[in-house]
Structure 1
Amino acid sequence: MKIKIVEKFKSKDFDLEIILVNKIEDLGENKDLLESLDFKIKDESSIFLPESKKIYSAFEEFNYDSIAIAIATAIKKATSTKFKTVKLVLNNFLEDNFKALVEGAILGAYKFENYKSEKNKNDLELNFVVEKKSSKLSDVLEESKIIASSVNCARDMVNTAPADFTPKSFAEAAQNIAKEFDLECEVFGEKYLEKQKMMSMHSVGRASVHESQLIHLKYKPKKAKTKVVLVGKGLTYDSGGLSLKPADFMITMKADKSGGVAVLNTIKTIAALKLPIEVHAIVGAVENMIGGNAYKPDDILRAKNGKTIEVRNTDAEGRLVLADCLCYAQDEIKDFNYILDFATLTGACVVGLGEYTTGIMGNCEELKHKALVSCQNSGEYATKLDFNRYLKKCIKSEIADVCNISNTRYGGAITAGMFLDNFIYEENKNKWVHFDIAGPAFVEKAWGYNPYGASGTGVRMAVQFIKDLVN
């Protein structure tokens, strides 16, 4: 979808007009007609009047989410027609919320049709009409286009079938990003994992015909103000291993790579925005399968930092991959200021928070709050989940340093986060935040400006967190 800012006096005729409304009184000349059609001021409520060629779309609240949903709903309505151009006249309020308008429009227009034999061919052009162009609006437009396009790219990657997106595909995607933005990229295979004694990650992928890949992308601008490390869980498919998932639970497990995908598209966005922050993106790209060489419940694995892990469930594999990736990051990257990991880690987080909310965990209250604020300012939903000394006892092993699952069915999101804490070195405890994105990363129904399937969760919140470090 093309998006432009046009000045009113240069404005031409457009096929359609979008009008965003918060009050019935704002409906203008079509008020009686819209009321007779039972149009209500509710999020996701819109109506198309063919005679006047106007789309009315309502928003309940004066915030990012409501406005982004309103324009996304209108754009969906517009793309269901054969019209090609649409305008939205900006007033002062809408100019102040221009970021939400641009991102909502792009995210709302997204469709995943890579596997469709017939594709939607409606290339809509959206024109924001203003009295006079300003550099501020132009800057917001360009930045928001970059961010929203990266989110849509993440959606594409996550939605891609596991046969078409293997660990090697992950590495190729990283190498393509490196080439486009002149980044450094290192990719390591299973021999490297063995040599570095990263047997926690290595064991998870050893039954797959697709070799596990450790990916490290580096964005190093001159005079960087700070250094951020991003670590992502990249399970290209998760069968559950020998602790095999039930058939219904195995569907959508292509989405278990969402954390790694978020990390890749975040560093791509930071590079495109040319922010003065050094960023490292590390992804453990692995496929968890069954076979004669599969790792087993009762195995004892040794991670890169020397800690031993009792495996009691091979479906708790993401934390095993992240354990070694976190150790690798801390061993290889010196003097970083923050280390953030993103993972579709636990079903327990979905049970506790619902499908739309990320769980934020870590040891530093100030840093968790900072992450929460950045997340909310980005348009994503999140809440903090606090560690607890009593839950720590639940992952104690009698025969190893730690167990990969809890001995209780309760608090599973937190105990998974506390498992990862075993692989954060003491000097980095207060630099680390864990984001469990299992809920919002992939939802099998449309919600707000998000489609069926992948949402691209993690990209906007990570970008906003890094942007906030500059401001």
Structure 2
Amino acid sequence: MQYRLFTEPCAVPHGSHLITSPDSPLLATLDMAQLPDMVAQAKNGELADSRFGCAPFARITLVPASAWQDTLTNSLVAHLRPLFKSPVSENVVLDGTQLSESRVRDTVLRECFNLAHSLDDLGLKTTGNTRLRINTLTLFCLPSQEDALQAALRQQYAVANGMLAARRLADMPSETCTPQFVVEQAQQLCAQFPALRCEVLDEKAIVGQGLGLLHAVGKGSSRPPRLLAIHYDGTKDGPVRSYVGKGVTFDTGGLWLKEGAGMYTMKYDMCGAANVLGLMLSIAELALPVRVMGVLALAENAIGPDAMQPGSVARACNGMTVEINNTDAEGRLVLADAIAWASQRHALTQYIIDMATLTGAVVKALGYELSGLMTQDELLRESLTRAGLKTADDVWSLPLDGRLKKQTESAIADLCNTPTNNAAISASAAWLLHHFCPANIPWAHLDVSGTALWREGGRSVASGRPIPLLVQHLLDELA
């Protein structure tokens, strides 16, 4: 999608869809018979929309002024989504004079740029895709706003491009999107940026380097596991920030088999890994002066003669052993190994942040708008929370301390992968994971089971979250 700015009303592209507020200075330039009625409707808190008598526009939409200032519920985006589903023009003109709240502004810009992907683009429907698509975003603004909006456009465009890459990958059916496919796609995407390089561990290297937990999850599948590390050197020296993503390309539950309804969306169990890839692409596009490593722990949790069995014990690359008392708690196993592996890679690691569609319990606790944040590092907790507030990619902290110790105790191994009492599932998973990051490295866990997908009309698609949060977190550190 292209974007552009203009500061003169006469420069508004003809035939476009104007989205503005009843208080906009643009309205004074319009000669439209029904405009007073539309303004009154919008000032009454209702959306006012017209496709007739709108010249030089093809469509004019007035969104209530309150929505342009709503930093909590994203009501402006909620108004726009239905409009974007049936566009009347390839060009949308958004009234930037009303975007005084940076959280609202950035969220709306990302929403617009994310229109560049839909499920139709996967090419899996035999019917031709002839529907009209929005391909240009135009912002009208005052001259005093131009520099700030130009910077916001550049930043959110890069963030959205990372989200788009992650969403396209996650939306792919799992019979195509195997661990090796993810590796190949990542290599192709990263090749566009000289600052990115890929390092791949195949199933033999995974065993050779002692990643027994990742091996245990992936060994039951005919599509073997992979560990992919993406390295970004935006500066020659300094500490490395590491991000780890759960990449279970399909989760049957293993021998602890899920029911059919619970398995339907399990192609999305690799959203954490897809979002790490997208994050690395956004960082590279913004050319941030940092050193970063993204680690994708990729495996298919399948049923087969070699599938891991309840009660088996596997050893991670840091030497710790885990009793696998539930094969459907596989995500924390691949994450644990990847976190431990990442912690050993560099002499100085600033922090490790992992992200995963890890537990349904976090959805019950926080719903679909908040990602669960678990960490024992208060500075990391504070900075991630602040970045979430800026980006409308919010997090909410859950407890993580020694009171959870009994939830991971095992009679036969150092740890067990699920609590036998089925309590505090999300926090217990994080408590398990914290054993695999050395105490001298700050670590945070993001459970994005509720936020990694966008749900509408009974359907789910990948959302690209928490890429906006993590890019903002980096930018805040560099400010």
Common topology (TM > 0.5):
yes
Contact 1:159/1:255, CA 8 A, preserved across alignment: yes
Residue 107 (1) aligns with residue 114 (2): yes
Contact 1:223/1:276, CA 8 A, preserved across alignment: no
Query: How do 1:310-349 and structure 2 match up within 5 A?
Result: 310-349=323-362
Q: Unpaired segments of 5 or more residues in structure 1?
A: none
Higher deviation after alignment, 74-83 or 119-128: 74-83
Pair 1:386–1:31, CA change in 2 (3 A): farther
SS at match of 1:228: strand
SS at match of 2:234: coil
Residue 36 (structure 1) shift: 8.7
Residue 193 (1) aligns with residue 206 (2): yes
Percentage of pairs with the same residue: 27
Kindly provide the CA deviation profile for residues 308-361 of structure 1, in whole angstroms up to 9, marking residues without a partner as x. 111111000011101111111111222011110001111111111112211000
Residue 176 (1) aligns with residue 188 (2): yes
Kindly provide the CA deviation profile for residues 102-136 of structure 1, in whole angstroms up to 9, marking residues without a partner as x. 22322356422122333234344332123448443
What is the rounded CA distance, in whole Å, between the counterparts of 2:170 and 2:65 in structure 1? 30
What is the rounded CA distance, in whole Å, between the counterparts of 2:70 and 2:474 in structure 1? 19
Residue 77 (1) aligns with residue 87 (2): no
Aligned equivalent of 1:161: 173
Aligned equivalent of 2:478: 470
The letter of the residue matching 1:467 is L
SS at match of 1:241: coil
Which of residues 136, 150, 154 is equivalent to 2:162? 150
What is the rounded CA distance, in whole Å, between the counterparts of 2:107 and 2:217 in structure 1? 40
Query: How do 1:36-435 and structure 2 match up within 5 A?
Result: 41=45, 45=47, 47-52=49-54, 53-58=59-64, 60=66, 63=69, 65=71, 69-70=75-76, 73-74=79-80, 76-77=82-83, 80-91=86-97, 93-94=99-100, 98-107=105-114, 110-113=117-120, 114=122, 115-116=124-125, 117-119=127-129, 120-132=131-143, 134-182=146-194, 183-223=196-236, 226-428=239-441, 431-435=442-446
Q: Unpaired segments of 5 or more residues in structure 2?
A: none
Pair 1:392–1:58, CA change in 2 (3 A): farther
Contact 2:90/2:132, CA 8 A, preserved across alignment: no
The letter of the residue matching 1:178 is C
Contact 2:311/2:324, CA 8 A, preserved across alignment: yes
Alignment: residue pair count: 464
> After TM superposition, what 4+ stretches of structure 1 lie above 6 angstroms from structure 2?
26-29, 35-39
SS at match of 1:427: coil
Contact 1:360/1:434, CA 8 A, preserved across alignment: yes
TM-score computed with the length of structure 1 as normaliser: 0.90
What is the rounded CA distance, in whole Å, between the counterparts of 2:84 and 2:411 in structure 1? 61
Pair 1:66–1:370, CA change in 2 (3 A): closer
TM-score computed with the length of structure 2 as normaliser: 0.89
Higher deviation after alignment, 91-100 or 412-421: 91-100
Residue 441 (structure 1) shift: 1.0
SS at match of 1:180: coil
What is the rounded CA distance, in whole Å, between the counterparts of 1:265 and 1:243 in structure 2? 31
SS at match of 1:171: helix
What is the rounded CA distance, in whole Å, between the counterparts of 1:434 and 1:267 in structure 2? 18
